[in-house]
C-alpha cells in the first residue's frame, strides 16, 4: 500500500495529463522513489493509477534505464562508460570502484548500501570521467575521489 | 564577435529572469505578437537559413512550413532535449544557464505555428536543467508571457516539461512522441511525417533546444544579421561546440558556425593537454565519422563537414591523442549503440552486437583478415535498419576503416593491439 499523500499526488499528475498513460514515467518514478525500486506491487499500483494492465506497465518499465525492476542498494552509483569518459579513464575508474566495493558492475553490496551501474553518457563530457548519484552529477573524479564521494553518500543514508 | 545563446551568461550561475528582462528579454515576443503575423515569423526563420541543431541539420523554417495550416484540431511543438549522443552536452549548459531564451523561443515558434500546448522532453540526469527551466516557465507565466491571452494578443500557450527515464532512442523524433504519449519508445514509420501526423496523431514540430533558442534573435535582428554571424558566407548563425577528451580546456562554447576545426581546439580549448598530440576527433557526437589532422582546416558547418566525409551532428567534438587506439575507441562507440538499440528491427538488434563482437575480436588480437570485409559489408547493410540509429552507429566504423585501416590491420597481423591495450 502506498501512502495516501503519494497516491493523491500521482492521481493529480494523471488527471492533468492529456491521456492517462502520458503520465506513466512520472508515476513509475514516484512509486520507485517510495519503494526504492519498481517492485511487482509498484507495477500493480502504476497499472491501477494509469488505467493500464500490469503487462502494459511492464512493457514501459523494462524499457527505461532509470526504472529499476530489480532491487537496488540505498545508493545507486551510475558510472558513465561512453566515449568521452572512456578517453579520460572511465574504465580504470569503474574497475577501481568494483575493487573498492568488492562487487562486479551491476551488483549490490551485501549490506544493500551501494549498487554500482555502468551507464550511458551522462552529458557531463567536458568533466570526464563522470558519475551520477541520485540527481547529482560529479566529474572529473579520480578513482580515489569517487570512492570518497560514495563513502560519503553511504554514511548519510 | 556577436553571440546569441551565451551572450549574457554569468560564469557560475543561471541568468535570472530579471536580468533576462533587463537585457531586452521577451521584448521580441511582445513585438511579434503586436506587429507580426505568424507567417512573418516563419518567413524570417526560413530566410535566416537556420538549420536544425540537433544533429540532422534540416532547415528549420522549411520543417515548420510542412505543417498543414487548415487541419482542424490541436497541433503541437516539442522541444527535443533528450541530449544523449555521447560527447554532447551543449543543451544541458544552455538550459542550465539561460532557460528563458528557450521559453521565449518556444513562445515565438508556437505563435508562428498556431500551437497552444508545447512540450519540452528532457533526458534523465538533467535534473538541474529541468529545475531551472521549470522556474523560468513559472516566471514567464507570472509575467504574462505564457498562459492565456499573452500580452493581450489573444495568443495562448502552455509549456509542459517531461523528464524522461533514460534511453538514447527517445531522441529520435518519432520514438520521442511515443515516449511522450506513454508508449514504448520504438520509432514510428515515416511517412506520415510528424509535421502532418505526430503527437496523438496531430501535426507536430520537433526542434532541438539550441535551434529554438536561436529564434528570438532571428526575429529581433532579422535574417541578414543572423547570416552574418557565421564564419563563412554560406553559413548562418553561431553554433554551440562542446569539446571533450584530451584537450587542455574541455568546454562548451558558442562560436561562429563554419569556424575551422583546428581553431576550436587550438584557440578556444587551449590546444592539446600537456604531453598529448592530436591523433583524431569525432566532430559531432558519437555517430559521426572521425576527423584527423588532414581535416584541421575544415569549416565546422553542415555542408563542409559532410563534404569532408563526416557530419557536423550535434557539435560534440571528442578529441583523441596519440595514445588512443582507434579500434578500442570504435568498439566503445559501437557498444553504446548496441546497448541502446531499442530492438525494434533485426538489422540493428542483431547487427550491432555482431559488429561489436568483430571489433572485440580484433582488439583482443584474434582478428582475421576477412574481418575488415565483414565490417565494410555491415557499414553498407545497416543502412537498411528501420531508423537512423544503426547507420549512425556505423559512422565511426566507416571512418575507422577509411582513415585507420593500417592500424586495424596491425591488430590482425601482429595478433595484439599495437598501442598496448
Reported as a single tens digit per residue, the pLDDT across B120-151 is 999 999 999 999 999 999 999 999 999 999 99
Residue linked to cell 511582445: B30
In angstroms, the CA B171 to CA A156 distance is 35
Alpha carbon of B278: minimum distance to chain A alpha carbons (Å):
13
Of B165, B245, B329, the CB nearest to A29: B165
* B152 burial via Cβ count (<10 Å: 0-12, 13-18, 19+): exposed
What residues of chain B lie within 8 A of the CB of A118, using their CB? none
Cross-chain Cβ contact A25/B163 below 8 Å: yes
The three three-digit cell numbers of residue A8, written as one number: 493523491
Q: What percent of chain A has pLDDT over 70?
A: 99
In angstroms, the CA B242 to CA B318 distance is 8
Element (H, E) at B373: helix B370-381
In angstroms, the CA B31 to CA B368 distance is 66
Q: Is there a domain that residue A70 lies in?
A: no
Residue linked to cell 561546440: B241
Q: Is there a domain that residue A103 lies in?
A: yes
Range of the domain at A125: 75-156
| Test mutation, B125, B202, B290, B315, chain A, max A CBs within 10 A | B125
- Distance of alpha carbon B104 from its chain centroid, rounded? 20
Q: Where are the alpha helices (DSSP H) in B214-312?
A: 215-221, 223-228, 261-263, 302-307
Q: What percent of chain A has pLDDT over 90?
A: 96
- CATH number of the domain to which A11 belongs: 1.10.10
pLDDT score for B205: 98
Q: Indicate if the pLDDT at residue A117 is higher than 90.
A: yes
Of B126, B245, B339, the CB nearest to A87: B245
The three three-digit cell numbers of residue A36, written as one number: 526504492
For B230-321, CATH number out of 2.70.170.10, 3.10.20.600, 3.90.1150.10, 3.40.50.300 equals: 3.10.20.600
pTM: 0.96
Cross-chain Cβ contact A84/B245 below 8 Å: yes
- What parts of chain B have a pLDDT lower than 70? 1
Cβ count within 10 A of residue B365 = 14
Identify whether residues A80 and A151 lie together within a single domain. yes
In angstroms, the CA B157 to CA B149 distance is 8
Q: Is there a domain that residue A69 lies in?
A: no
What residues of chain B lie within 8 A of the CB of A64, using their CB? 124, 164-167
- Determine the 3-state secondary structure of B120 from DSSP: strand
Q: What is the ipTM of this complex?
A: 0.96
CA distances B117 to B90, B114, B156, Å, are: 25, 9, 8
Identify whether residues A147 and A84 lie together within a single domain. yes
Q: CB under 8 Å to B123, separation ≥6 — which residues?
A: A123, B81, B82, B83, B84, B164, B166, B170, B171
Per-residue confidence at A156, pLDDT binned at 50, 70, 90?
Answer: confident
What residues of chain A lie within 8 A of the CB of B126, using their CB? 123
pLDDT score for A135: 87
Taking a C-beta distance cutoff of 8 angstroms, is the pair B189, B147 a contact?
no
Alpha carbon of A119: minimum distance to chain B alpha carbons (Å):
9
* Fold of the B17-227 domain: Rossmann fold (3.40.50)
pLDDT score for A155: 86
What residues of chain A lie within 8 A of the CB of B95, using their CB? none
pLDDT score for B263: 98
Identify whether residues A15 and A40 lie together within a single domain. yes
pLDDT score for B77: 98
B76-81/B204-208 β-pairing: parallel
Identify whether residues A84 and A145 lie together within a single domain. yes
pLDDT score for B265: 98
Identify whether residues A141 and A100 lie together within a single domain. yes
Q: CB under 8 Å to B224, separation ≥6 — which residues?
A: none
Cβ count within 10 A of residue B64 = 20
pLDDT score for A157: 66
Identify whether residues A152 and A114 lie together within a single domain. yes
* Chain A residues contacting B via beta carbons under 8 Å: 18-26, 28-29, 50, 59-60, 63-67, 78, 81-84, 86-88, 119-128, 132, 135, 137
What residues of chain B lie within 8 A of the CB of A95, using their CB? none
Taking a C-beta distance cutoff of 8 angstroms, is the pair B145, B155 a contact?
no
Of B369, B310, B308, B362, nearest in space to B334 by CA: B362
Task: Give me the residue spans of the domains in chain B.
Answer: 17-227, 230-321, 326-414
pLDDT tens column, A1-26: 799 999 999 999 999 999 999 999 99
Q: Sign of dihedral through CA atoms B148, B211, B113, B20?
A: positive
Q: Is there a domain that residue A22 lies in?
A: yes
Element (H, E) at B193: none
| Test mutation, B115, B126, B165, B175, chain A, max A CBs within 10 A | B165
CA dihedral B161, B333, B376, B359 (to 10 degrees): -150
pLDDT score for B172: 97
Q: What is the CATH number of domain B326-414?
A: 1.20.1440.230
Cβ count within 10 A of residue B181 = 17
Of A8, A140, A17, nearest in space to B245 by CA: A140
Query: How many structural domains compose chain A?
Result: 2
CA distances B408 to B328, B371, B400, Å, are: 10, 10, 8
In angstroms, the CA B10 to CA A71 distance is 42
In angstroms, the CA A127 to CA B244 distance is 8
- CATH number of the domain to which A107 belongs: 3.40.30.10
Q: Which residue has the higher pLDDT, B179 or A135?
A: B179
Identify whether residues A33 and A100 lie together within a single domain. no
Alpha carbon of A134: minimum distance to chain B alpha carbons (Å):
9
* B43 burial via Cβ count (<10 Å: 0-12, 13-18, 19+): middle
In angstroms, the CA A50 to CA B329 distance is 43
* B409 burial via Cβ count (<10 Å: 0-12, 13-18, 19+): middle
Per-residue confidence at A42, pLDDT binned at 50, 70, 90?
Answer: very high
Identify whether residues A131 and A79 lie together within a single domain. yes
Amino acid at each position: 500500500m502506498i501512502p495516501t499523500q503519494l497516491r493523491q499526488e500521482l492521481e493529480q499528475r494523471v488527471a492533468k495529463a492529456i491521456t492517462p498513460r502520458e503520465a506513466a514515467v512520472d508515476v513509475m518514478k514516484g512509486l520507485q522513489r517510495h519503494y526504492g525500486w519498481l517492485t511487482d506491487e509498484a507495477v500493480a499500483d502504476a497499472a491501477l493509477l494509469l488505467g493500464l494492465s500490469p503487462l502494459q506497465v511492464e512493457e514501459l518499465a523494462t524499457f527505461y534505464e532509470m526504472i529499476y525492476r530489480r532491487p537496488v542498494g540505498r545508493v545507486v552509483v551510475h558510472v558513465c562508460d561512453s566515449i568521452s569518459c572512456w578517453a579520460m579513464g572511465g574504465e580504470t575508474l569503474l574497475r577501481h570502484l568494483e575493487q573498492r566495493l568488492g562487487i562486479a558492475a551491476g551488483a549490490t553490496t551485501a549490506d544493500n548500501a551501494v549498487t554500482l551501474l555502468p551507464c550511458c553518457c551522462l552529458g557531463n563530457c567536458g568533466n570526464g570521467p563522470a558519475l551520477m548519484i541520485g540527481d547529482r552529477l560529479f566529474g572529473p573524479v579520480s578513482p580515489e575521489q569517487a570512492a570518497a564521494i560514495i563513502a560519503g553518500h553511504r554514511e548519510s543514508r | 564577435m556577436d553571440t546569441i545563446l551565451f551572450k549574457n551568461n554569468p560564469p557560475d550561475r543561471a541568468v535570472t529572469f530579471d536580468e533576462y528582462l533587463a537585457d531586452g528579454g521577451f521584448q521580441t515576443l511582445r513585438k511579434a505578437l503586436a506587429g507580426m503575423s505568424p507567417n512573418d515569423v516563419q518567413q524570417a526563420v526560413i530566410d535566416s537559413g537556420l538549420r536544425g541543431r540537433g544533429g540532422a541539420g534540416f532547415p528549420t523554417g522549411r520543417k515548420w512550413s510542412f505543417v498543414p495550416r487548415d487541419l482542424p484540431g490541436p497541433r503541437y511543438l516539442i522541444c527535443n532535449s533528450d541530449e544523449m549522443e555521447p560527447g554532447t552536452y551543449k543543451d544541458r549548459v544552455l538550459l542550465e544557464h539561460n532557460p528563458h531564451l528557450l521559453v521565449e523561443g518556444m513562445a515565438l515558434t508556437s505563435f508562428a505555428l498556431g500551437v497552444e500546448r508545447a512540450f519540452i522532453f528532457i533526458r534523465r540526469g538533467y535534473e538541474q536543467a529541468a529545475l531551472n527551466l521549470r522556474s523560468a516557465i513559472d516566471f514567464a507565466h507570472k509575467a504574462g508571457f505564457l498562459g492565456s491571452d499573452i500580452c493581450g494578443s489573444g495568443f495562448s500557450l502552455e509549456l509542459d516539461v517531461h523528464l524522461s527515464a533514460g534511453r538514447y532512442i527517445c531522441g529520435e523524433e518519432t520514438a520521442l512522441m511515443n515516449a511522450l504519449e506513454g508508449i514504448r519508445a520504438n520509432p514510428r514509420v515515416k511517412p506520415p511525417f510528424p509535421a502532418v501526423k505526430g503527437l496523438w496523431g496531430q501535426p507536430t514540430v520537433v526542434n532541438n533546444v539550441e535551434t529554438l533558442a536561436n529564434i528570438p534573435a532571428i526575429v529581433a535582428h532579422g535574417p541578414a544579421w543572423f547570416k552574418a554571424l557565421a564564419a563563412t558566407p554560406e553559413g548562418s548563425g553561431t553554433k554551440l561546440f562542446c569539446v571533450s577528451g584530451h584537450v587542455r580546456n574541455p568546454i562548451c562554447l558558442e562560436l561562429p558556425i563554419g569556424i575551422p576545426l583546428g581553431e576550436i581546439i587550438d584557440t578556444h580549448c587551449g590546444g592539446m593537454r600537456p604531453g598529448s598530440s592530436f591523433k583524431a576527433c569525432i566532430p559531432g557526437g558519437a555517430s559521426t565519422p572521425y576527423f584527423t589532422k588532414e581535416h584541421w582546416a575544415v569549416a565546422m558547418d553542415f555542408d563542409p563537414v559532410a563534404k569532408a566525409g563526416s557530419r557536423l551532428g550535434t557539435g560534440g567534438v571528442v578529441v583523441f591523442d596519440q595514445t588512443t587506439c582507434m579500434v578500442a575507441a570504435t568498439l566503445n562507440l559501437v557498444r553504446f549503440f548496441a546497448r541502446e538499440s531499442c530492438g525494434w528491427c533485426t538489422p540493428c538488434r542483431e547487427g550491432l552486437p555482431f559488429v561489436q563482437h568483430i571489433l572485440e575480436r580484433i582488439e583482443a588480437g584474434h582478428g582475421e583478415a576477412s574481418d575488415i570485409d565483414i565490417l565494410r559489408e555491415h557499414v553498407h547493410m545497416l543502412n537498411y535498419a528501420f531508423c537512423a540509429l544503426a547507420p549512425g552507429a556505423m559512422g565511426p566504423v566507416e571512418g575507422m576503416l577509411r582513415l585507420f585501416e593500417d592500424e586495424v590491420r596491425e591488430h590482425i597481423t601482429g595478433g595484439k593491439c599495437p598501442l598496448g591495450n
